[in-house]
């Protein structure tokens, strides 16, 4: 079926133009092209793009609130709950919950997903293998990256470390980390870099997921990134404690992040929910200073859903536009440029972080999502629905 979208706002190509799908491939038609169109739709300036990219999720944990609740809402109870719960998860349950969320994300226009997957001596690579199955099943609909994530740490239990290495052989293409939860964060980061270099994989770490301004393991990550010549291959998620730091500290850290070419992923929904729980009066938001990072320091920043209805966050609908709206409120980003930046943080920026180009090129495989909005800011404010998806 050949389909022509007229007057499309092709945001990545920065132009309003006609865009066609001919035999499943992108085509930019000229007036003299003699093509039989089975369907012609005048979009009247509606947004056309390749889809959203949710670059930090936890599909193996998603929807666990259907089975168990975090009554205190704290990070520690969430870790304790999942530590006990995941040992008894069946492959069928992991598959069912993850598939439900993938479908949810797909309906909302997401075409690129990256998930951290718990790996330890109890669950081993079971979740990695289940999600690898789903990755293959959905390969014609969306792209799914798997990160081997040592939620339970690796320093106190060498079997966890061995399981993490095995996960890189069993389907994980990226290695994660969580140094702030270890007694020796420096050693944790060193061990992760050792595995990353051994298997030539990128690093995507949970960094400083707390509201303590004295907890800045990001500094060690910067040091190790440069020492190991891993500039451009490291992503840091969360950075909550930096949002609680003094301005001069933030400025110094951002300069060093830029030098190390570390990419940042902020998770506003989960961090708003978890951080600042012990504050009285002035309550910290627990979100990295992403507006300053991106607009002043030109550091690559993405925002993502993180947890979807699990013990870490009981909320979430797999909708990146909802993530952008939450971020707009929490980070005082309500101007037109702010909202355009936030749209890019759920689409083109994380796409590039995952190795994909958001622009359309003649003859490439057609991947088209049309939103019921004419501009990026309108899409966020109106929480635009998906009109068409090819």
pLDDT of residue 32: 62
H helix intervals, the chain = 75-85, 91-107, 126-137, 158-169, 185-199, 218-227, 247-260, 268-274, 290-291, 320-330, 336-345, 348-353, 376-382
Q: Topology of 3-49+359-389 in CATH? A: Urease, subunit C; domain 1 (2.30.40)
Q: What is the DSSP string of 142-183?
A: -EEEEEEE-TT-SSS-HHHHHHHHHHHHTT--EEEE-GGGSS
3-state secondary structure 243-295: HHCCHHHHHHHHHHHHHHCCEEEECHHHHHHHCCCCCCCCCCCCCCCHHHHHH
pLDDT tens digits along 261-295:
999 999 999 999 988 888 888 888 889 999 999 99
Residue ranges of domains in the chain? 3-49+359-389, 52-353
User: Residue 76's pLDDT band (boundaries 50, 70, 90)?
Assistant: confident
Domain 52-353, CATH 3.40.50.10890 — does that match? Answer: no
* Dist CA 74 CA 209 (whole Å): 12
pLDDT tens digits along 123-163:
999 999 999 999 999 999 999 999 999 999 999 999 999 99
pLDDT tens digits along 154-200:
999 999 999 999 999 999 999 999 998 899 999 999 999 999 999 99
On the question of pLDDT at 385 being above 90, the answer is yes
**Residue located via tokens 């690559």:** 300
**CB neighbour list of residue 261: distance below 8 Å, 6 or more residues apart:** 225, 231, 232, 234
pLDDT tens digits along 204-225:
999 999 888 888 999 999 999 9
Strands 25-27 and 15-22: antiparallel
pLDDT of residue 84: 86
Query: Which position has the higher pLDDT, 277 or 316?
Result: 316
On the question of pLDDT at 34 being above 80, the answer is no
The pTM of the full predicted model, rounded to 2 decimals, is: 0.95
* Dist CA 42 CA 28 (whole Å): 15
Give me Rg for the CA atoms of the chain.
21
pLDDT of residue 31: 67
pLDDT of residue 35: 85
């Amino acid at each position: 079926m050949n389909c022509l979208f007229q007057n499309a706002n092709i945001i990545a190509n920065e132009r309003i133009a006609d865009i066609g799908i001919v035999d499943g491939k992108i085509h930019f038609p000229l007036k003299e092209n003699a093509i039989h169109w089975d369907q012609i739709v005048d979009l009247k300036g509606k947004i056309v793009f390749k889809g959203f990219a949710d670059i930090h999720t936890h599909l193996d944990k998603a929807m666990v609130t259907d089975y168990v609740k975090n009554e205190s809402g704290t990070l520690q109870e969430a870790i304790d709950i999942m530590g006990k719960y995941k040992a008894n998860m069946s492959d069928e349950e992991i598959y069912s919950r993850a598939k439900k969320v993938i479908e949810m994300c797909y309906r909302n226009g997401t075409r690129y997903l990256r998930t951290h997957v718990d790996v330890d001596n109890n669950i081993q690579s079971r979740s990695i293998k289940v999600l690898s199955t789903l990755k293959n099943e959905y390969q014609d609909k969306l792209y799914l990256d798997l990160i081997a994530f040592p939620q339970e740490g690796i320093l106190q239990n060498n079997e966890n470390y061995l399981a993490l290495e095995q996960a890189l052989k069993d389907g994980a293409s990226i290695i994660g980390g969580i140094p702030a939860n270890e007694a020796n964060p420096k050693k944790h980061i060193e061990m992760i870099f050792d595995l990353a270099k051994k298997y030539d994989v990128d690093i995507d770490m949970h960094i400083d997921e707390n509201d303590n301004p004295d907890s800045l393991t990001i500094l060690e990550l910067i040091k190790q990134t440069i020492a190991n010549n891993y500039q451009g291959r490291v992503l840091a998620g969360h950075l909550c404690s930096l949002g609680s730091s003094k301005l001069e500290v933030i400025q110094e850290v951002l300069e060093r992040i830029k030098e190390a070419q570390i990419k940042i992923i902020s998770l506003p929904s989960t961090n708003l929910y978890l951080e600042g729980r012990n504050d009285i009066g002035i309550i910290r938001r627990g979100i990295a200073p992403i507006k300053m990072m991106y607009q002043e320091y030109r550091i690559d920043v993405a925002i993502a859903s993180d947890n979807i209805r699990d013990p870490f966050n009981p909320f979430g609908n797999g909708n990146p536009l909802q993530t952008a709206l939450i971020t707009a409120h929490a980070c005082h980003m309500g101007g037109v440029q702010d909202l355009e930046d936030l749209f890019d943080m759920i689409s083109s920026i994380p796409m590039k972080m995952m190795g994909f180009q958001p622009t359309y090129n003649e003859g490439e495989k057609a991947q088209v999502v049309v939103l019921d909005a004419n501009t990026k800011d309108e899409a966020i404010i109106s929480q635009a629905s998906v009109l068409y998806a090819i």
